[in-house]
């Protein structure tokens, strides 16, 4: 397998890997490092990539594990890093200020969820994976995923309603 | 789109029972300008999901395929260095060889022969020295005539 073939292979899910990493690690730079790490690992395994029937799911699982490891080692080092650089790189100048403000709220709320729920929200609501694909990535059964997802969505709703009616009630 | 239907899907959504198609429908509904007022609070959630999906990694992924070339390069480099050092020693040894040979010139195994050769060499030396002395002899003539003139 040469470089071009490999690039072709990873292109469809490269950004998904990046977004999942960003969901968990928050900072863009760290997410890019994680993406690179995962891709290089895949590249090193390139000779037996054919033995996996779903490379995308493998990549997503690797990303998930890598990011959780990163978080764990950071916490073990007693370093709590709070990132506030929620800059989105796409120019969205036409967005109303109020609008982007409430989108930031959603981001904050999701970031406060437990990691497992963040992963599920990212995979389902952002990347729109089917449940059987998510099951492969996170190694859970579909029912458990549905239950957890419902819990996460309700939590987001709850926090949103609290923010939305803040100062009114 | 019927409001009833959306409310229905929304309810299912929070139960985690919607399909991808239904979730897409929700996203579309909430990105449209005419969202029912009592549902407006959900707009940012779906707006956020759509927005986040636009994010892309800007980074190039460095794939190392040149690792082997680097190994070959280092092998070649060390070969050149070894060759250079080897040539240097080889050449300098060649230059040093005649010097050694010269110092070994005039070695005799037989002592008598050695004595004869030494005497011959010394005689040659003293002959040359005598020639030198003869050529300075006439300076004595000056000395004698000087002593005649300047009597002390």
Q: What is the mean pLDDT of chain A?
A: 82
Do A124 and A108 fall within a single domain?
yes
Do A55 and A95 fall within a single domain?
no
Do A114 and A158 fall within a single domain?
yes
Q: What is the mean pLDDT of residues A85-113?
A: 68
> Any chain A CB within 8 A of the CB of B58?
yes
CB contact under 8 A, A19 and B53: yes
ipTM, 2 decimals? 0.75
- Looking at the complex, report in whole angstroms how far the Cα of residue B34 sits from the nearest Cα belonging to chain A: 15
Interval A107-149: pLDDT, tens: 888 888 999 999 999 999 999 999 999 999 999 999 999 999 9
Do A164 and A121 fall within a single domain?
yes
Range of the domain at A3: 1-83
- Predicted TM-score of the model (pTM): 0.63
Cβ contacts of A154 on chain B, cutoff 8 Å: 14
> Any chain B CB within 8 A of the CB of A3?
yes
CA atoms within 13 A on the CB side of B9: 20
Range of the domain at B130: 109-152
- Token pair 């960003």 in the structure block, residue: A22
Residue B98: inside a domain, yes or no? yes
Collapsing DSSP states into helix, strand and coil, what is residue A23?
helix
Do A94 and A75 fall within a single domain?
no
CB contact under 8 A, A92 and B51: yes
What is the full DSSP assignment across A62-130?
A: HHHHHHHHHHHHHHHTT----------SS--TTS-HHHHHHHHHHHHHHHTS-HHHHHHHIIIIIT---
Q: Decide if A142 contacts A130 (C-beta within 8 A).
A: no
Do A8 and A39 fall within a single domain?
yes
Residue B142: inside a domain, yes or no? yes
Cβ contacts of B20 on chain A, cutoff 8 Å: 128, 130
Do A137 and A113 fall within a single domain?
yes
Do B98 and B117 fall within a single domain?
no
Residue B61: inside a domain, yes or no? no
Do A56 and A100 fall within a single domain?
no
Do B119 and B146 fall within a single domain?
yes
Do B11 and B29 fall within a single domain?
yes
Lowest mean pLDDT among A44-53, A91-100, B76-85, B94-103: A91-100
CB contact under 8 A, A103 and B47: yes
Q: Which of A49, A83, A117 is the last residue of a domain?
A: A83
Domains: count for chain A: 2
Do A61 and A16 fall within a single domain?
yes
Res B6 pLDDT > 70: yes
The pLDDT-based confidence of A28 (bands split at 50, 70, 90) is confident
Distances (CA, A) of A136 to A35, A80, B101: 19, 31, 84
Res B79 pLDDT > 80: yes
Domains: count for chain B: 3
Do A55 and A94 fall within a single domain?
no
Do A58 and A24 fall within a single domain?
yes
CATH of the domain at A9: 1.10.1740.10
Do B98 and B134 fall within a single domain?
no
> Any chain B CB within 8 A of the CB of A130?
yes
Residue B60: inside a domain, yes or no? no
What angle (nearest 5°) sits at the alpha carbon of residue A43, between those of residues A42 and A49? 60
Do A46 and A95 fall within a single domain?
no
CA-based nearest residue to A103, from A126, A124, A119: A126
């Amino acid at each position: 397998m040469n470089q071009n073939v490999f690039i072709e292979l990873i292109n469809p899910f490269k950004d998904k890997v990046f977004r999942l990493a960003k969901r968990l690690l928050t900072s863009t730079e760290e997410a890019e490092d994680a993406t690179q790490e995962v891709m290089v690992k895949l590249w090193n395994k390139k000779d037996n990539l054919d033995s996996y029937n779903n490379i995308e799911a493998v990549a997503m699982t690797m990303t998930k594990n890598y990011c959780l490891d990163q978080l764990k080692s950071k916490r073990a080092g007693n370093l709590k890093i709070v990132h506030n650089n929620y800059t989105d790189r796409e120019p969205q100048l036409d967005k109303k200020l109020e609008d982007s403000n409430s989108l930031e709220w959603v981001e904050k709320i999701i970031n406060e969820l437990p990691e497992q729920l963040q992963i599920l929200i990212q995979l389902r609501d952002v990347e729109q994976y089917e449940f059987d694909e998510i099951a492969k990535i996170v190694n859970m059964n579909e029912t458990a995923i549905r239950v957890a997802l419902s819990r996460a969505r309700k939590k987001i709703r709850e926090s949103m309603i609290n923010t939305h009616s803040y100062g009114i009630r | 789109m019927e409001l009833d239907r959306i409310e229905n899907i929304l309810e299912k959504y929070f139960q985690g029972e919607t399909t991808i198609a239904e979730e897409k429908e929700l996203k579309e509904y909430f990105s449209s300008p005419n969202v029912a007022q009592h549902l407006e609070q959900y707009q940012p959630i779906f707006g956020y999901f759509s927005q986040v999906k636009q994010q892309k990694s800007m980074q190039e992924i460095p794939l190392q395929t040149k690792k082997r070339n680097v190994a070959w390069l280092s092998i070649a480099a060390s070969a050149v260095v070894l060759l250079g050092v080897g040539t240097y020693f080889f050449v300098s040894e060649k230059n040093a060889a005649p010097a050694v040979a010269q110092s070994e010139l005039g070695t005799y195994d037989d002592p008598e022969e050695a004595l004869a050769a030494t005497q011959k060499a010394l005689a040659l030396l003293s002959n040359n020295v005598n020639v030198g002395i003869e050529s300075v002899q006439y300076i004595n003539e000056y000395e004698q005539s000087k002593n005649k003139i300047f009597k002390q």
